[in-house]
Structure 1
C-alpha cells in the first residue's frame, strides 16, 4: 500500500465557524519552498481565506518565504517554563472561582488578557472574532472544558486579577492571565503566579508553562520575575488568500 504524503494543511472547523469562512493551519510540509505555491493553490481551491503558519523564530528561510508573499507576522509567540520543586505555599488573597457562571467582571478580565492577541491586532480579522474567542475561552474554562482551575484575586470586594490553569500530565499550563485596570503595580500579578505555582505543586506537576506575545513586555517581565525561562519562540503568520471585505 502506498504511503500517503504528509498533509500540507488542515482545515479548522471551530475557527472556520467563528470567522464565517474556511480557515486552515499550514503544516511544515506545506511550507517547503518547492511545495508552497501548490499549497496556496490547494488552499484557494478549497475556499480557504485565512491560513495560520507557525514557524520557529530561528527559521529565517521559511520566514523569508512568508514575508515574500506579504503575509503579516502577527505574533512573536514566546513560551516560558519553570521546573517545580514542590512545597510552595498559596498566597493570601487568591481563591478559586466558585460560581458556575461567568460574571461581567470575570469576562472583562478575560478580554483584558488578550489585548495584544493576534486576533485583535490583525486589522483583517473580523471585529467579532476577538471578543467571541476570549468570551468562549473564559466560559469554557469556568465549565472545566479547557481548564482545571480558574483562580482570582480580589481587592476591596472586586475582582483584581485572574489566572486559568490546566494540567497535562506532569506539565501545568497557564491559559489566561490578567490584572484589572487600576490594580496594576500592586503585586497582584506576582500573587497570581505564586498561586499558580502552589496549585501546580499540590497536584505534583513537575513543570509550569505559559505562552505570551513577545510584544507583551509586562507579561514577559512578570514571568521572568517568577523564575520562568524562555524555552521556545515562534513567529506566527496570517496568510490571507484574498482581502477580507
Structure 2
C-alpha cells in the first residue's frame, strides 16, 4: 500500500444514489495519489472514498495534504466461533412487517449510522443520510433466503435489531442497534449470538462485521462475542 499504486473504481450504485459520479480509490493500480485526484477532476467525479491502513502515517498525511477529509476509523472484525442455539429472545422479522415494527426497525437503522462516515461528512445532507439508511434497511427486510433482520422485543415492541446476509459463505452483519432505553440489558449480546447462529444455519464458516473505531459500545459488544480485529483503517472522502 503506497501512494504510487492507486486505481480508480467508479461506483455505479453510489453515483445513481447521489446523482453525481462517485468512485473508490484502491491500491490495485499504478497511479500516484496526486495523479488519481487529477484524473478524478478530469472525469468530473465529485466524491471519492479512500481507506488507508491506520498505521500508514505517511499515506494518511498525503491524503490530508491533497484535501482528503477524515471521516472516521474503520474496524473490520471476524469470528469463526459459530453457535447453533438461537437465543430465546431473538426472532427473524417478517419480510412484510406490520407498520409498528417497520417504523421501529427503521428508527434503529438510522441510530446505527450515527457515527458512520455518511453522517460525519458535512458534505452529505441529513436527507441523503436518512434516504441511504432507509434503502439499506428496506433491502435487508426484502424477501430472500440469504438475508434477514433479527430483532428482540421488550413488552412486545422491537427493542433491538441486527441485519445479516450471506456473502461467499460468510455471514456479514450490516446494521446493528439497540434502543437507547433498553441498553445494558444484554439485548445486543443476544442479537449478536442470533446473527452467529443464523450464519451457522445457513452453512456459513464465519461472521464478519465492520464498525467505527469511535463506537466504543459496539467494539465492546463484539469483543464479548469473541470477534477479533482483522484490520483497522482510516477513511477519507475527497470532494473534487
How far residue 223 of structure 1 moved from its aligned partner, in angstroms, is 0.3
Secondary structure of the structure 1 residue equivalent to 2:180: coil
TM-score scaled by structure 1? 0.88
Q: Give yes or no for contact 1:31–1:62 (8 Å, CA) kept in 2.
A: no
Distance 1:135 1:160 in 2: 18
Is the aligned partner of 1:75 residue 2:78?
Answer: no
Rounded Cα–Cα distance in structure 2 between residues aligned with 1:79 and 1:87: 20
User: Counterpart of 1:113?
Assistant: 112
Quick check: 199-208 or 112-121, which moved more? Answer: 199-208
Aligned to 2:166: 167
- Residues in 2 aligned to 1:140 and 1:50: alpha-carbon distance in whole angstroms: 24
For residues 144 and 136 of structure 1, the distance between their equivalents in structure 2, rounded to whole angstroms, comes to 14
What SS does the aligned partner of 1:189 have? helix
Alignment-derived partner of residue 214 in structure 1: 213
Structure 2 residue 56 is matched with structure 1 residue 64: no
Q: Is the 8 A contact 1:179 1:189 kept in 2?
A: yes
Partner of 2:86: 90
Provide the rounded CA distance (Å) in 1 between the counterparts of 2:15 and 2:203. 37
Secondary structure (helix, strand or coil) at the match of 1:227 reads coil
Structure 1 residue 95 displacement after superposition: 0.4
CA distance in 2, matches of 1:147, 1:136: 18
For residue 131 of structure 1, report the CA deviation from its aligned partner. 0.7
Superposed CA deviations along residues 132-152 of structure 1, whole A, max 9, x for unmatched, are: 111000101111469611111
Distance 2:25 2:83 in 1: 42
Report the TM-score when normalising by structure 2.
Answer: 0.89
Relative to structure 1, the CA distance from residue 61 to residue 144 in structure 2 (aligned partners, 3 Å threshold; closer, same or farther) is farther
Partner of 2:137: 138
Partner of 1:48: 45
- Give the C-alpha shift of residue 171 in structure 1: 1.5
**Quick check: 1:94–1:195 contact (8 Å CA) kept in 2?**
yes
Consecutive unaligned residues in structure 1, runs of 5 or more: 1-5
- 1:147·1:164 contact (CA, 8 Å) conserved in 2? no
Distance in structure 2 (CA, Å) of the matches to 1:194 and 1:8: 38
Matching of residue 123 in structure 1 with residue 119 in structure 2: no
Number of the residue aligned with 1:181: 180
1 CA distance for matches of 2:150 and 2:141? 10
- The Cα of 1:18 is off from its aligned counterpart by 2.1
Q: Secondary structure at the match of 1:28?
A: strand
**Paired residue total:** 233
CA distance in 1, matches of 2:10, 2:228: 33
Q: Given the superposition, is the C-alpha separation of residues 111 and 146 from structure 1 closer, same or farther in structure 2, using an over 3 Å criterion?
A: farther
RMSD: 2.1
- Partners of 1:205 and 1:198 in 2: CA distance: 9
Q: Which residues of structure 2 form unaligned runs of 5+?
A: none
What is the Cα deviation at residue 82 of structure 1? Answer: 1.0
